[in-house]
Amino acid sequence: MQVDHELIMNNPFIAEVISAKSDAESERLTSIEQAKLTQTRADNLNAEIEKIVSKRRYQGDRVVFRNSEEFMKAGMKILEKYNATENEKTWFLGLV
């Protein structure tokens, strides 16, 4: 299992290969770490999207997003931060 180190540097949600006595053990440990990072990424992405959605709904007296375009730009920045997939981008655009 080889991973491009430049890709890892640009994406903190990709696990580095964990060295172990055997390739199978290394792959198993790396897989466990990747599962943790994937869950953390999903939790953080959802929390950030929920935050801007709630700001859009409950802005009260304060103008948070003047229009849908501002909301979309804020969401797209978050999606870029988490290297979102096309499906995640499509899902978000459905909220706009």
Domain of 75 in residue numbering reads as 5-95
Q: Which two tokens stand for residue 29?
A: 């440990």
pLDDT given for residue 81 in this prediction: 92
How many structural domains does the chain have? 1
pLDDT given for residue 7 in this prediction: 47
17-72 per-position pLDDT tens digit: 989 899 999 999 999 999 999 999 999 999 999 998 887 766 565 667 888 898 89
Residues contacting 17, CB < 8 A, separation 6+:
1, 2, 3, 26, 30
The SS3 of residue 13 is coil
Q: If you search the block for the tokens 């430049």, which residue do you land on? A: 6
CA 28, CA 77: separation in Å to the nearest integer?
33
- What is the pTM for the complete model shown? 0.67
Give the number of other CB atoms < 10 A from CB of residue 13: 17
